Amino acid sequence: MAIILASQSPRRRQLLEQMGFTDFLVRPAKGEEIADPNLDPWALVEALSRQKALEIAAGAAPEDLIIAADTVVSVEGKVLGKPHSTRQAQEMLTALSGREHTVYTGVTVCRGNELLTEHEATAVRFRLLTQEEIAAYIATGEPMDKAGAYGIQGRGALLVEGISGDYFNVVGLPVCRLGRMLFQFGVDPLTWTKEKE
């Protein structure tokens, strides 16, 4: 059995390693993400993580275990994905400034015909930011590949006043929830060794 992470995110890769998995494969989903924009944020990330998992599962062995995730930020009913330009990053960070938002990550685990999808939600509160601070943060390049245009595990931590919920969910992979999901597939990260992989 191979464990396959259907994501190119280095942060998700690091978190999976932190959970004790050292010899997994990385196969990012390449298909176009298609989801109803009218979905609630939690339903959107669940749908997108399911799409990614099923895409990779189609080319995997039946015994392989696929892990896929998708993260968005929601503020005042608006969903923020990854910015496509520095202007979009500036707009996102301005919208988050001085407000609380919610980070949603959908996670799908599948093997053969078994499939389980769940989501995690974490509330994050930003301090009030000046436009100069926003411009300086964007100039670091850090916001450009992250939902909501910030990375809490990097310099983005300087923008965050507090969080309520799973910190790792904000990074991009809710470790505790994923651990419980894997347990339902007979995989216990607490007792997992490389030989079992």
Phi, psi for residue 85 in degrees, rounded to 5: -155, 165
* CA pair distance 16, 5, nearest whole angstrom: 9
Task: Provide the annotated active-site residues.
Answer: 70
Closest CA to 93 of 140, 37, 131: 131
Pure H helices in the chain:
10-18, 41-57, 86-96, 131-139, 167-171, 175-183
Report how far residue 158's alpha carbon sits from residue 152's, in angstroms, rounded to the nearest whole number: 8
